[in-house]
Amino acid sequence: MSAAATPSPPAEAPIPWLGLLAVLLGTFISTLTGRLSSFGLADVRGGIHAGFDEGAWITTAFTVAQMLVTPVAVWVGSIYGPRRILILAALLFTAASAVIPYSQNLPTMLVLMFLAGLGSGCFIPLTLGYVLRSMPPRLWAYGVALYALNLELSLNISASVEGWYVDHLTWHWIFWQNVPLGLGMAICLHFGVRQQPPPALRLNKDIYGLATCGLGLALLYAALDQGNRLDWLNSGLIWGLLIAGVFLLVCFVLHERTAEKPWLDFQVLLRHPMPFLLLMIALLRLTILSTSFLIPYFLGGVRGFRALQVGDTLIWIAMPQLLICWLAAVFLRRTDPRFVACFGLCLIGIACMTVAYTLTPNWGSDQFLISQLLQAVGQSCALSGIVFNAVLRLRPQDALSFGALLQISRLFGGETGQAFISTLARVREQRSSNLIGLHVKAGDPAVLHRLQAYGQVIARHDQPAKAAPLILGEDLRAMATTLSTIDCFVAVSAFAVVALFVMIVVMRAPPRGPASHRPLFARRSA
């Protein structure tokens, strides 16, 4: 966003902490809904009688709408202020969430999910800018830590929440829970944020730039989201989405470089080290969503755990965040944010390698406890440190532009990680299954001995003898899934190492300012 289009900061709100609560609640709602609809997708498909392939577009419709609306949300927020836009977005999201469970067919469900995505897509891009404007600089570290807490908490409690809804209520509550949350957010915004008077002159009406940027990003995101299911470049639809998305983004860049009043200030995007910080946010998001995919993948595929049982493991990432959030903020105020980020990335790498070197098919929720506690500390410190490092380099007029770039990096990093890890897990499981199967041959003495042992156990339970080969096949599949999970955790650890390398080699100390850290042993008066 160019400096000329940035409005002056709004006057102090009647209840400032209520406005802060509102925007942080929006961050929480947006991420939680995306994760809940992913975990409960099978129940949602069954509720509207949709098949696997067509039902896969339900979550895509929601997240693609979030990506599409991001540029528009930042542009409109810079003109009318965050209050009016966030209230309208919260009401749209609430209304769509209330009606979604009544969908009778897939097209209706897709339209309503798209509308809900348009509403929730406005939350995160406008959150960080409001946090920085409403809090004094000495408290920015705590605001950034709360921002990271919302993202982490909503990601990792979703399995437990979805499992509880399905077991005790119905899948409809995956969406109905957003009604009181969305209304509460709108009420907090109404009383906590003062209305900003609209400017006399509307600037930067770059409709072409907004359209090409939003559509290009949305098409690329749809290709990533559906790529693993459609076998990537073997699908004509994926080719079409990728070509159209890249073409629109090239048109956007060329237009913005030549426009008299461009929507996006490329100086914000290209100023060192902003590209590396956005890359690190994408890499970190990749590692976070990858591990939150791998644990349900293993526990569901090998142990047959349901969502509520998987949530017992992921909750150990979520709950410690309440304490770690405060500690991360203290560290950001007392040390260089680069050290906090490096510490977190090291813990993420150690946690992934711990699982990779010790995982067996007998693992359950309890065996993941130590690694997930390390993961919880690492994710909070790494995300808070990286975002705060970027915040310290921002000019006040760049806050909204950074909010849009952060949202794009967050969504693309997470979706790239999900697509990469799910594809890697599928390919490695197929390879491991093939290699293991080469040693399982009909008539082999070891195979016959194993089948006889299964037969004796089955006979005690009055089961048919033909079930023995099926049990052997399940054991082989479980072993292949375990090996593919190990390979994926090694890959995630490698991504954490790459991010750590970039932080150590590329990042310089941020400039000193009112939000900079105070040395650990400095006197308070200093």
Instruction: Return the higher-pLDDT residue of 245 and 401.
Output: 245
Cβ–Cβ contacts within 10 Å for residue 476, how many? 16
Instruction: Give the pLDDT confidence score for residue 526 in this predicted structure.
Output: 45
Q: Are 285 and 409 in contact (CB under 8 A)?
A: yes
Who's near 368: CB < 8 A, 6+ residues apart? Answer: 295, 313, 316, 355
Tell me the whole-structure pTM to 2 decimals.
0.80
Instruction: Give the pLDDT confidence score for residue 13 in this predicted structure.
Output: 43
Instruction: Give the pLDDT confidence score for residue 463 in this predicted structure.
Output: 56
In a 10 Å sphere around its CB, with 0-12 CB exposed, 13-18 middle and 19+ buried, how is residue 161 labelled?
buried
The alpha-helical segments, DSSP class H, found in 303-359 are 307-318, 321-334, 337-358
| SS3 state of residue 235 | coil
Q: What confidence tens digit (pLDDT) does each residue in 215-246 have?
A: 999 999 899 888 888 888 888 899 999 999 99
C-alpha 181/C-alpha 294 separation (Å) is 29
Banded model confidence at residue 10, pLDDT cuts 50, 70, 90: very low
Helix, strand and coil content of the chain, in percent to the nearest 5, comes to: 80, 0, 20
Average pLDDT of span 381-402: 78
Residue 29 has pLDDT above 70, yes or no: yes
Residue 319 has pLDDT above 60, yes or no: yes
Query: What's 137's DSSP letter?
Result: G
Q: What confidence tens digit (pLDDT) does each residue in 169-198 have?
A: 888 888 888 899 888 888 888 887 766 665
Q: What confidence tens digit (pLDDT) does each residue in 408-459 have?
A: 887 787 778 788 888 888 889 888 888 877 766 665 666 556 666 656 556 5
Return the H-helix or E-strand segment holding 145. Answer: helix 140-156
Banded model confidence at residue 152, pLDDT cuts 50, 70, 90: low
C-alpha 450/C-alpha 443 separation (Å) is 11
C-alpha 28/C-alpha 157 separation (Å) is 11
Who's near 189: CB < 8 A, 6+ residues apart? Answer: 19, 22, 23, 83, 86, 87, 90
Average pLDDT of span 29-43: 72
Q: Are 120 and 66 in contact (CB under 8 A)?
A: yes
Instruction: Return the higher-pLDDT residue of 118 and 8.
Output: 118
Banded model confidence at residue 467, pLDDT cuts 50, 70, 90: low
Q: Which of 13, 17, 23, 20 is nearest to 195 (CA)?
A: 13
Average pLDDT of span 46-62: 83
Average pLDDT of span 470-482: 77
Between 313-317, 401-405, 502-506, the lowest mean confidence (pLDDT) is in 313-317
Residue 486 has pLDDT above 80, yes or no: yes
Highest mean pLDDT among 18-22, 49-53, 122-126, 428-432 belongs to: 428-432
Query: Which residue pairs from 267-271 have beta carbons closer than 8 angstroms and sit at least 24 positions apart in sequence?
Result: 268/1, 268/398, 268/401, 268/402, 268/405, 269/401, 269/405, 271/393
C-alpha 25/C-alpha 440 separation (Å) is 54
Residue 103 has pLDDT above 70, yes or no: yes
- What are the structure tokens assigned to 27, written together? 């961050």
C-alpha 48/C-alpha 394 separation (Å) is 47
Half-sphere exposure of 233 (CA within 13 A, CB side): 1
Instruction: Give the pLDDT confidence score for residue 9 in this predicted structure.
Output: 44
Cis status, amide bond into 14, omega within 30 of 0: no
Would you say how long the chain is, in residues? 526
- Residue labelled with tokens 């709100």: 13
- What are the structure tokens assigned to 501, written together? 């390398």
C-alpha 38/C-alpha 55 separation (Å) is 11
